[in-house]
Amino acid sequence: MDVSAIGAAAGSRTGPGALGPGSLEVRSLSVRFGGLVALDDVSLEVPAGEIVGIIGPNGAGKTSLFNVVSGFLRPQAGEILYGGRRINGVRPHELNSLGIARTLQGLGLWRGLTVLENVMVGARRAKRPGFASALLGFSRSDRYEAVLTGLARDQLRLLGIERFADRYPGVLPYGVQKWVSLARALVSRPALLLLDEPASGLTATEIKELADLLRSLRAQMSIALVEHRLDLIMNVCERVHVLDFGRVIASGPPERVQKDKAVTDAYLGEELTPTVVEGEADARG
Amino acid sequence: MNYFFVLTLTGVAAGMIYAALALALVLVWRATRVVNFAQGAMAMTTTYIALAVIQLTGNYWFGFIVALAAGLLLGAVAERGVVRWVENGPPLNAVILTLGLLLILEAVVPMIWGAQIRSFPAPFSIAAMQVGAAFIPVSPFNLFTVGVVLLVMVALLVLFRFTGLGLSMRAAAFAPEIARLLGVRVGRLLTFGWGLATMAGALAGMLVAPTLLLYPNNMDAILVYGFTAAVLGGLDSPIGALVGGLSMGLALSFIGGYLGPDLETAGALAILIAILMLRPQGLFVHAAERRV
């Protein structure tokens, strides 16, 4: 698919809104693994410039949803719209140039790469030199390394972790490592950020810092947030979608969703469909 | 001349060749987590191609360059055309596949060039050098061997450490899914990694042939030595491959020199078994994590 055309189209629209640049909308998305339904006719949207929470019990299909949007899974039915343009069939390596960044559960940092190098891998939207000239070490490619390094350092400075640039992730506290993985996602200046459980493993203080950071990013990008920590969701999200067994069971502002009967039932495990086995539900996570 | 000193020098020269082949195995392992048992046969094939070119043009260096280029191409084609299809299967599939590749190459090459043992030209003399009245058990070709392998090592170090391409290759090797999400074209880099590896193997083939001659399975023993060297170095580290290769060269030289040349291959296998039992992660695995 022609990535540059989509990127340009997304960038040419102005103003926030459901179809603005960086917005995400999925329509009637269905994903099945054999007989197991991971996503069942899911429709939801992440309007431009908003922070949208996606919550639900384990196995509700939250990560499957992200996997579909980032091209790791093909949906059996449905549409994915990014900035108003259909991006079904996008491949994972094309996301970066489309302006979509995604973090995975856990850290996923390279232990053999320094913090700076980890972030540099994410900084790839700048015009890059040809394969051959990088190989032969021509001057344009030297400048390219310098640009990569500069972008990565700036991003680390923005997050206040520049002093760890030359350390290896394995020796740093978990909270700092989490910040590094955020820096790696942010360094490409995405218009849409997909965060998969960014708060897991963080202390209460760190979660507050994360909330402040996410709010400060709102002006630059839309954010979809899959999260178990409801304190973070309630704190930063304008809108929440609740998934349960692959279906959207509630959508709306966090305080209203929190009181929704279907949501409390899903979280307390009442009225579970007796035919669904717990283990299968977990595997979908 | 001290016998120990002589064995040390010949050990270093041989060790550099093992290091080159170990490097090929390490690069393939890093890229795709496959041990390429066809690495030796691929090197043998590119060396036959080089010989044909040298005989045709009369120019050794032309053949040398063609061998390296053929290695790059052969490795890339093997990855893209064959290995790619079993990459997501069980590891054993890839192992059997590279063994198949080994058998095919060792069958096809004699169909084209015959199975007889051939001599192979060297760019420099393979006779011991004479300084004054004394002979030093080192030939100009040995010096060339040491120099060119070190040069390749440094070039790879620069590629991996200081270029964006190298950074992407390291990223793709250790966490392909994440690298993909960050915009890295993982597939291309794996193909390139195999090409680069087979180029290093082709170099080993060119360095082996002048002294050990060229025939369809002339690299079989070298593959065992190179594999042992790679395992010794932790399989993940180019520097480990160099140190492992040198250690193997020295160990085999001492075994051959003091215990008898018949024991060299057995010695290599004994070392391999000892490493796998005592320290299967290799001697340099820490260095691999930190510096590569």
In this predicted structure, which of A239-243, B88-92, B130-134 has the lowest mean pLDDT? B130-134
Whether B289 sits inside 8 A of A144 (CB atoms) is: no
The answer on A81 and A206 residing in a single domain is: yes
Q: Residue A192 is encoded by which pair of tokens?
A: 């849409």
A203 and A180, same structural domain?
no
Cα torsion through B269, B271, B274, B275, rounded to 10: -110
Confidence of residue A192 (pLDDT cuts 50, 70, 90): very high
Is residue A131 located within the same domain as residue A256?
Answer: no
Nearest to A145 among B163, B182, B290 (CB): B163
B199 inside domain: yes
Task: Look at residue A106 and tell me if it is in a domain.
Answer: no
Q: What percent of chain B has a predicted confidence (pLDDT) above 90?
A: 57
- Can you tell me the distance from the alpha carbon of A89 to that of B57, in angstroms, rounded to the nearest whole number? 51
- Find the mean pLDDT for residues B207-235: 92
B269 band by pLDDT with thresholds 50, 70 and 90: confident
Chosen domain end from A140, A170, A189: A189
Q: Is the pLDDT of residue B291 over 60?
A: no
Domain at B71, CATH number: 1.10.3470
- Inter-chain touch A141–B175, beta carbons under 8 Å: no
Asked, for residue B283, whether it belongs to a domain, the answer is yes
Using DSSP's 3-state secondary structure scheme, residue B6 falls into helix
Identify which of A157, A165, A211 has the alpha carbon closest to the alpha carbon of residue A186: A157
User: ipTM for the complex?
Assistant: 0.75
Domain that holds residue A183: 111-189
Least confident of B21-25, B124-128, B255-259: B124-128
Q: What is the rounded average pLDDT for all residues in chain B?
A: 89
Lowest mean pLDDT among A140-144, B239-243, B274-278: A140-144
Tokens at B108, concatenated? 């096809």
Tokens in use for A43? 């429709």
Average pLDDT over residues A221-241: 89
Structural domain containing residue B31: 15-121+142-291
The 3-class secondary structure across chain A, one letter per residue, is CCHHHHHHHHHHCCCCCCCCCCCEEEEEEEEEECCEEEEEEEEEEECCCCEEEEECCCCCCHHHHHHHHCCCCCCCEEEEEECCEECCCCCHHHHHHHCEEECCCCCCCCCCCCHHHHHHHHCCCCCCCCHHHHHHCCHHHHHHHHHHHHHHHHHHHHCCCHHHCCCCHHHCCHHHHHHHHHHHHHCCCCCEEEEECCCCCCCHHHHHHHHHHHHHHCCCCEEEEECCCHHHHHHHCCEEEEEECCEEEEEECHHHHHHCHHHHHHHHCCCCCCCCCHHHHHHHC
Q: At which of A130, A161, A189 does a domain end?
A: A189
Of A139, A172, A189, the one marking the end of a domain is A189
Q: Indicate the helix (H) or strand (E) that contains B131.
A: strand B129-131
- A92 in a structural domain: yes
A210 in the same domain as A87: yes
Q: Is residue B74 part of a domain?
A: yes
User: Does a structural domain hold residue A105?
Assistant: no
- Picking from A112, A141, A148, the nearest residue to B292 by CB comes out as A112
Confirm whether B117 is domain-assigned. yes
Q: Report residue A168's pLDDT band, with 50, 70 and 90 as the boundaries.
A: very high
**Chain A residues contacting B, CB < 8 Å?**
70, 72, 91-97, 101-102, 104, 108, 110-113, 117, 120-122, 124-125, 128, 131, 134-135, 137, 141, 144-145, 148, 168, 184, 188
Out of B179, B185, B288, the one facing A121 most closely (by C-beta) is: B179
Per the CB < 8 Å rule, is A111 touching B171?
A: no
pLDDT attached to residue B130: 80
Contact A134 B164 (CB under 8 A): yes
Q: Mean of the per-residue pLDDT values for chain A?
A: 80
**Are A141 and A148 within 8 A, CB to CB?**
no
Our CA dihedral for A203, A207, A210, A215, rounded to 10 degrees, sits at -170
Task: Give the total number of structural domains in chain A.
Answer: 2
Interface residues of chain B, partner chain A, Cβ below 8 Å: 158-159, 162-165, 167-168, 170-171, 174-175, 177-186, 192, 288-290, 292
Q: Is residue A104 part of a domain?
A: no
Can you give the CATH number for the domain in which A80 is found?
3.40.50.300
Q: Examine the domain organization and report whether A201 and A236 are in the same domain.
A: yes
Across A62-82, average pLDDT: 90
Q: Quick check: A272 pLDDT over 60? A: no
Least confident among A21-30, A123-132, B90-99, B137-146: A123-132
Q: What domain count does chain B have?
A: 1
Q: Do A69 and A131 belong to one domain?
A: no
Q: pTM for the full model?
A: 0.80
pLDDT tens-digit readout, A123-153: 865 455 555 555 555 555 567 778 888 889 9
Residue of B nearest to A128 (CA): B164
Instruction: Give percent above pLDDT 90 in chain A.
Output: 31
Residues A91 and A195 in one domain: yes
Single-letter code of the amino acid located at A49: G
Whether A41 maps to a domain, the answer reads yes
